[in-house]
Amino acid sequence: MLIDNKCSIYANRPTTCRSYDCRVFPAAGVSAGENPKIAEQAQRWKFEYPTEDDRRQHLAVRAAARFLHAHPELFARSGAANATQLAVLAIKIHTVFLDQGAGANTITDESKVLEAIEQMRA
């Protein structure tokens, strides 16, 4: 997808591509269905974990995305409206999920998620 550090999807990189990195989708485990070409390319990304903390961080991002997807009322309160915004928000609030474990899609205190969203907006 990157050839000579440039996007290989488009000849001229659109403004949208400059505002986010398509790796955000597989990092969060979210489909980039809004654009089939981006979705196809994004699915090719594979992640490596040089440290166990890297793996833990990635699992927390995915747990945050699952949680946001399962709780659309909280997701809507964040101002997010699509898959890109969900994936980015999951990355921004993933620290709340660091101790939830690999399979977590629930959290005992939803107020922590709301607090993280509010801090992110400030």
Q: What are 15-73's pLDDT values in tens digits?
A: 666 665 788 899 999 988 677 878 887 888 888 999 999 999 999 999 889 888 888 77
Entry field: residues in the chain = 122
Write the CA distances from 2 to 9, 12, 24, 48, integer angstroms.
Answer: 9, 13, 15, 17
**pLDDT of res. 5:** 64
**pLDDT of res. 121:** 62
- The pLDDT mean for the chain works out to 77
Burial of 1 (0-12, 13-18, 19+ CB in 10 A): middle
The count of structural domains within the chain is 1
Q: Kind and range of the H or E element at 88?
A: helix 83-93
Write the CA distances from 69 to 3, 10, 25, 37, 73, integer angstroms.
Answer: 33, 30, 13, 23, 9
